[in-house]
Amino acid sequence: MSFDKFGKISYLSETKVADFAKYLEKGKIMATRCNTCGKLYFPPQADCPDDLSTDMTWEKLSGKCKLLTYTTAHFAPAGFQDDVPYTIALAQCEEGVKVYALLSRNINENEICIGMDLKLTPLQFPNGRITYELKKA
Amino acid sequence: MSFDKFGKISYLSETKVADFAKYLEKGKIMATRCNTCGKLYFPPQADCPDDLSTDMTWEKLSGKCKLLTYTTAHFAPAGFQDDVPYTIALAQCEEGVKVYALLSRNINENEICIGMDLKLTPLQFPNGRITYELKKA
Amino acid sequence: MSVAIVGVGQTPFSRNCGVSIRELCFEAFREALEDLNLTSKEIDASIICSAPEYDKQRSPAGLISEYLGLTPKPTFYAESICSSSSTGVKVGYSFIKSGLHEIVAVIGFQKMSEISSAEVQERMGRGADTQWESPFGTMMPAGYAMYARAHMQKYGTTEEQLAKIKVKSGKYALLNPLAIFRREITLEECLKARVIASPLKMYDCCANADGASCVIMASEEKARKTTDTPVWVAGIGAASDTLSTTGRSNLTGLTCAVDAAKQAYQMAHLEPKDVDVAEVHDCFTIAEIMAYENLGFCKPSEGGKLIEESQTYIGGKIPVNVDGGLLSKGHPIGATGGSQIRTIVLQLQGRAGKTQVKGAEVGLVHNIGGIGVYGNVTLLRR
Amino acid sequence: MSVAIVGVGQTPFSRNCGVSIRELCFEAFREALEDLNLTSKEIDASIICSAPEYDKQRSPAGLISEYLGLTPKPTFYAESICSSSSTGVKVGYSFIKSGLHEIVAVIGFQKMSEISSAEVQERMGRGADTQWESPFGTMMPAGYAMYARAHMQKYGTTEEQLAKIKVKSGKYALLNPLAIFRREITLEECLKARVIASPLKMYDCCANADGASCVIMASEEKARKTTDTPVWVAGIGAASDTLSTTGRSNLTGLTCAVDAAKQAYQMAHLEPKDVDVAEVHDCFTIAEIMAYENLGFCKPSEGGKLIEESQTYIGGKIPVNVDGGLLSKGHPIGATGGSQIRTIVLQLQGRAGKTQVKGAEVGLVHNIGGIGVYGNVTLLRR
Ligand SMILES: [Zn+2]
Ligand SMILES: [Zn+2]
C-alpha cells in the first residue's frame, strides 16, 4: 500500500514507512523504534541517523499528549482555503516524541491553552483519505 | 501589450522587450541595438551587459539567414506532443545575430542541409498566438 | 587575507515589477557596479540565489549570468529559501578565501507576482516536510505564529509589543525609496488588522514582493584596487535546525540563529555590544523580537521589553532594521539577504542618508531561511 | 593544505526507487560513511544537490540534513542541473580550503519517477531560455542532437561512431550492479532504434532515473585520521556557456568543458596524457565524443575515431566510463556527478573490481549541466 491516502492533500506517495497508513486505517498510530540504539521516532522513520541502522520496529503510541503551541489559521495555502479557520498544533506525546496535527474542530478556540491534555486520534475523511488529529483528552 | 501571446506555449508574460510581440503582429521581426556601443541583440534585449547601458533602439532584421544546425524531434515535451515530428533549427542572420526557431513544415526533411538559405518569417497560429519560423528563402 | 564587499545594488521591491527576472537582476547588478573601478569581465564567478517555483524559469543561473555578461565564468544556483543570498555570500567568501576566485557576484532575486498569494503559500507550505506537515495546510505565518504563541505564553510578550515592531518598521520605511510600503502605521491599526494566523495579524506579516539584489565581493588586493570604501567580512556563521516542527527543542527562539551568531561573533572576535547597526530577518514581528534575543542584543525573554523601550530605534541601544525591514520593504525571498547586506554596507560607508547611524563601524546581518531552518549571521566592518 | 575525498556512496540507479527522497539519500550516505573513522556528528556542513520540480518537496536541504542527523550543522541547496553535485564538490572544496569547515558531505539526489517522461522533458525544456527557446518545444535530446548534426557535418562523425559509444557503455554496465541497464547492446540494435531527435536514436540517449550519491570531503588533517585511502582533489575547474543556443559560438564542442578542463589541468599541474581513467558526462553519445575532444584526449574532430579504434576501453589509450556511464547507469540528475566521482575514487583506491584500471593514479570527472551550460572538471589523485 502506498502512502498517498495520508492527509487532506498528499505530496508524497512512496516511502519505506508506508505501512504507517495501513496501521492508521486500523486505528493505530505507530512510531518506529531503532533496534540498535532504542531511540523512538515519530513521525516514524525507516532509518536511524544515530547509528546508521535500518533495523526498526513498529510501536504503537498511546496517543496521550499535551499541547505545546498552536495557531489558528484564517488564511490558507491553495488547496486548504475552504477549511479556514483551522488550528494547527504541536503536542508532546507521553512517549517523548512530538506530533504536528490539527486540533479537532470540537475544541473551541477559547478552550485552547498551552499545556492542556490532548488525545492523538486517527481521522478518516468522507472521501476515504486518512489522517490523525488532536482531540480533547 | 504583454508578451504572453508569443510562442506556441508562453512561459513568460512580462518583459521590457514586450514591444517585440507588437512589431511581430505587424509582420516585423525586430532586434535591439545598443546606442552606446552599437552592438546588435537578437533575441532583443533591453540592457547591454557590455557597457551596462539601457539605451537601446529597435531595428528591423531583413530575415535573410543560413542554417547552422537542426534536429527533427520525434518525441516532445508535455504540451508539444501533438506537433511531432518538428524540426528545430539554429540559423545565422545576415546581420550577424543567430535565431532559434522551427523550420517551416513546407520544407521536406530530405531537402534540409546545413548552410541552406532561409527566411525568418512571422507566423500567426489559428488561435491568435504569434511566433516566427524559418522558411525556404 | 581578508574578503571585502565592494559593491551593493538593489531594485525597488514592488508588488508587480512588470519585467522579466533577468531584467530585474540587471538593474541590481548595475547599481552594484556603479562607481567601482571594475568591469563585469573582471568578475570571476557568480552565484545566483533564489527559491524555485515562483516563476517558470528553471536553472536561472545560466540565464542571468548570460544576461549580465558574465559568461563564460562559472555560475550556479544557491538556495536556502529566504536566506539564499546570505548563503551565496558565505559561498562567495569561501570561493575567495580558498583562492579559487578573486571577485564574485552574488545575485539574489525573486519574482512572486506571477502567482496568487495562496499559491505562494502553497509553495512555501511545500518547503515544510511534505510527508508529515504540509498535508495539514502549513504556511509560513502559521509556523511563526506558533513561535509567537509560545513566546507570549512563556515570557509574557504581548500583541502590543509585536505591533510596536511594525510601527518602527513603518517609520523607517517612509525614508526608504526602495520599500513597497512607505507609510507610518499606528499601533491601533496594527492591533485592529485582520488575523492571518493567530496571534499574528496582517501587519505582523511581511508581504511577498518582486525584487533583486546584488553583492560584489573581492579579495583584499582586488578590493583595494576597486574601491576606496571596501567593507570587510569580519564574521560568517551558518547553522540549521530541523525542517520538521516536531524536531524542535526550543519554541521561543531560533536555535539556528543562536548557533550562527555564536560562530560569527567568534570568527570576528566581536560581541553583541560591539554591533552599531543591525538588519534582522523580520518576516514577522515575532521574528524580530526573537532575533533581539538570539543575537544577544538582550536576554532571552526581554525582546518585547527592548522594543517597548524603543531601544532598537536610531539613538537607542542598537538600531535595528532602519531601512524598514522585510515588514515594510517587502520580502522577495532570494533578494532579501542581499538587500539587508546592502543596507549595512551603505551604513558602514556612511552613505545611508536620513537613516545613517552616526559613526557605525560594525554591522550585523541576520537572515533566516524557512521557519528557523537555515540561520545565517554576517558581521561586517568598516 | 590539501583537500581529500574520504568516502563515497551511491544507491542503485533505478526506474522507480519506491522510497522517499530522504530515504534514498540515507542509503548513499550510509555507504559513504562505511569503514570510515567518522561519525555523522563530526560532519561540519552539508551541501544538498539536485534539480528542482521533479518531486514536490521544496528546499530539500533542511529535510535531508535532518534525516541524516546533520542538524544543527549548516546546509543549503546547490544546483547546476545535471552537474549539481560537481558544483557541490567545488563548494565543499572551498569551504574546507577557506578554513570555514573541516568535513563536508555533498549529497546529490533525484527522484524522477513521480512524473512522466514528457513531463520530465517539459521541466528540462524550462531549463532553457523560457522566453525565446522553450516556446519552440525545446528538450535535452534536441539540444544535443543539434550539436551531433553540426559535428557530423563538420568532422564527418558517423551514426555508427555514436552507436559505438553505447556499445562500450553496455559492455561495462554489465559489470556495474548499480546501473539501470545491465546488458550488452549490439551496434545493429543501436542503429535500428527509433529516432528521438535526429540523428539521435533511443540508445544514443540516457534514461531518467531515481538515485542518490554522497561524497564526504575532508581537510588533509581530518582525512588522515578518517581513512587510510584518501583521494586528493588535485584540480577543480568550472565554467559556463550561454544558456541560449543563439549565444553559442561553437556548435561542435562544449566550450564550458574546454574552459573547465583548462583550469583543472592548470591547478593540478597535469595534462590530458596524465589521466589514467575518466568519467565523462555521456548524457548522449555525442556528448562523450565531444568530451574526448574537449578534454584533450584527442584533437577536435577525432572523437569519432577514438571510439572507432576502441581507445577508450580498458587497455586503450584512456579508459572512459568503465562503470557504464550515464547511458547505461541512468541519469538521476542531481546524483550523477557524485556517482561519477565515486567511480573514480574507487578506481584510485583500487576497489573497482572487474573494471579496475590497473595502477590508476590520476582520474578525471567531466560533468556538464544542461546543454553545455555548466562545465565542471575535477581531477583526483591517489
Ligand atoms: Zn539507532
Ligand atoms: Zn552597449
For residues C112 and C185, membership in a common domain is answered with: no
Q: How far apart are CA C78 and CA C90, in angstroms?
A: 11
Residues D281, D240 within the same domain: yes
* A49 vs D18, D56, D69: nearest CB: D69
C151 is a domain residue: yes
In a domain, C331, yes or no: yes
The verdict on residue D271 lying in a domain is yes
Query: What number of other Cβ atoms are within 10 A of residue C315's Cβ?
Result: 9
Q: Which amino acid is at C339?
A: S
Strand intervals (E) in C19-166: 45-49, 75-79, 103-110
Return the pLDDT at B95: 98
* Mean of pLDDT over chain A: 96
**Angle of helix D140-155 versus helix D285-294 axis, rounded to 10:** 60
State yes or no: cis peptide before C272, omega within 30 of 0: no
Task: Indicate if D110 and D216 belong to the same structural domain.
Answer: yes
Per-residue pLDDT of chain D (382 residues; tens, 9 = 90+): 899 999 999 999 999 999 999 999 999 999 999 999 999 999 999 999 999 999 999 999 999 999 999 999 999 999 999 999 999 999 999 999 999 999 999 999 999 998 888 888 889 889 999 999 999 999 999 999 999 999 999 999 999 999 999 999 999 999 999 999 999 999 999 999 999 999 999 999 999 999 999 999 999 999 999 999 999 999 999 999 999 999 999 999 999 999 999 999 999 999 999 999 999 999 999 999 999 999 999 999 999 999 999 999 999 999 999 999 999 999 999 999 999 999 999 999 999 999 999 999 999 999 999 999 999 999 999 9
Q: Are C329 and C179 in contact (CB under 8 A)?
A: yes
Question: Beta-strand (E) ranges in D280-338?
Answer: none
> For residue C117, what pLDDT is reported?
84
Nearest to D63 by CA among D10, D22, D29: D22
Chain D residues inside the 8 Å CB shell of C131: 20
Burial of B115 by CB count in 10 Å (0-12 exposed, 13-18 middle, 19+ buried)?
exposed
Query: Is B85 in contact with B135 (CB distance < 8 Å)?
Result: no
Same domain, C275 and C263: yes
The continuous run of DSSP H or E covering D334 comes out as helix D333-348
* CA–CA gap between residue C326 and residue B112 (Å, rounded): 56
| Chain B residues with beta carbon closer than 8 angstroms to that of C68 | 49
Closest CA to D180 of D211, D201, D205: D211
Mean pLDDT, rounded, for C172-193? 97
A47 C-alpha vs ligand 1 centroid, how far in Å?
A: 8
Q: Give yes or no: residues C268 and C227 share one domain.
A: no
Q: How many Å lie between the centroid of ligand 2 and the Cα of residue B55?
A: 8
Same domain, residue pair C321 and C190: yes
Q: Say how far apart CA D197 and CA B88 lie, in whole Å.
A: 10
Provide the phi-psi class of A128: left if phi over 0, else alpha when psi is between -120 and 50, else beta.
left
- What count of other Cβ atoms lies within 10 Å of the Cβ of residue C41? 10
Return the percentage of chain A with pLDDT > 70, whole number: 99
**A43 with C194: Cβ contact below 8 A:** no
C95: number of Cβ within 10 Å: 29
The pLDDT tens digits for B23-52 are: 999 999 999 999 999 999 999 999 999 999
Contact C281, C290 (CB under 8 A): no
- How much is the pLDDT for D295? 98
Distance from CA of D33 to the nearest CA of A (A): 9
Query: CA–CA distance from D301 to each of A76, A108, D148, D205 (Å)?
Result: 59, 76, 12, 21
* Whether D150 and D289 share a structural domain: yes
- Give residue ranges of D with CB < 8 Å to any B CB: 116, 118-119, 121-122, 124-126, 129-139, 141-142, 145-150, 153, 194-200, 244-248, 251
* Structural domain that includes position D81: 3-116+209-231
Number of domains in chain C: 2
pLDDT at D190: 98
| Residue B82: partners with Cβ closer than 8 Å, 6 or more residues away | none
For residues B99-128, average pLDDT: 96
**What is the C-alpha separation between B47 and C26, in angstroms, rounded?**
8
Euclidean distance between CA atoms B1 and B11, whole angstroms = 16
Q: Are D241 and D254 in contact (CB under 8 A)?
A: yes
Q: Judge whether residue A17 has pLDDT over 90.
A: yes
In a domain, D164, yes or no: yes
The three cell numbers locating residue D150: 553540426
For residues D169 and D227, state if they share a domain: no
Q: Which residue of B has its CA nearest to D115?
A: B78
**C127 inside domain:** no
Quick one: CA dihedral D298, D302, D304, D309, positive or negative? negative
Query: Is D130 inside a domain boundary?
Result: no
Is residue D94 within 8 A of residue C91, CB to CB? The reply is yes
Mean pLDDT of all residues in C20-37: 97
Answer whether D102 touches C (CB < 8 Å).
Answer: no
**CB contacts < 8 A (C, D):** 190
Amino acid C275: pLDDT: 98
Is residue D294 within 8 Å of residue D151, measured between CB atoms?
no
Q: Residue B56: what pLDDT?
A: 98
Closest listed residue to residue A122, CA positions, set A41, A31, A29, A1? A29
∠D97-D332-D260 over CA atoms, to 5°? 40
Residue C82 falls in the annotated catalytic set: yes
CA-nearest of D180, D166, D230, D143 to D13 is D180
Among the candidates C170, C197, C231, a domain finishes at C231
The domain that contains D155 carries what CATH number? Answer: 3.40.47.10
Domain shared by D169 and D69, yes or no: no
Shortest distance between the Cα of B136 and any Cα of chain C, in A, equals 31
Sorting pLDDT into bands at 50, 70 and 90, what band is C11? very high
User: For residue D240, what are the β-bridge partners?
Assistant: D374
When CB atoms are compared, the residue of D130, D145, D247 closest to B71 is: D145
Residue B1 has pLDDT above 80, yes or no: no
Q: How big is chain D by its Cα radius of gyration, in Å?
A: 19
According to the model, what pLDDT value does residue B2 have?
Answer: 82
In the block, which residue shows the cell 501571446? B5
Q: Are residues D84 and D195 in the same domain?
A: no
Q: What is the pLDDT of residues A39-57, one digit of tens each?
A: 999 999 999 999 999 999 9
| Whether residue D335 is found in the same domain as residue D256 | yes
- Decide: D237 and D260 in contact? Cβ < 8 Å: yes
CA angle A57, D210, D323 (to 5 degrees): 110
pLDDT number for residue D119 = 86
Q: What is the mean pLDDT of residues A21-30?
A: 97
Nearest CA in chain A to D31: A52
AA letter at D333: I
A1: closest chain D residue by CA: D18
- Please give the single-letter amino acid code of residue A81: Q
Closest listed ligand to the CA of B40: 2
Residue B31 is predicted with a pLDDT of 98
Ligand having the closest approach to the CA of A47: 1
Let me know: does D343 contact D356? Beta carbons within 8 Å: no
Contact D67 A12 (CB under 8 A): no
Show the CA angle centred on residue C133, arms to residues C131 and C135, nearest 5°: 75
Q: Which residue has cell 525614508? A: C175
The interface predicted TM-score of the complex, written ipTM, equals 0.98
Q: How, if at all, do strands B40-41 and D103-110 pair? A: unpaired
Q: Furthest-apart CA pair in chain A: how many Å?
A: 45
pLDDT at A1 over 60: no
Taking an 8 Å cut-off on Cβ atoms, the answer to whether C66 and D242 are in contact is yes
Whole-number Cα distances in Å, A126 to A8, A20, D120: 11, 20, 34
Mean pLDDT of C268-294: 98
Return the domain boundaries, chain A: 19-136
Burial class (CB in 10 A: 0-12, 13-18, 19+), C358: exposed
Q: Average model confidence (pLDDT) for chain C? A: 97
The answer to whether residues D324 and D354 belong to one domain is yes
Q: Is C103 among the domain residues? A: yes
* CA-based nearest residue in chain C for residue A3: C131
To which residue does cell 561540519 refer?
A: D44
Whether D300 is covered by a domain: the verdict is yes
The CA–CA distances, whole Å, from D291 to A77, C6, D252, D296, D337 equal: 46, 38, 11, 8, 15
Phi, psi for residue C349 in degrees, rounded to 5? -85, 0
Tell me if residue D82 is catalytic. yes
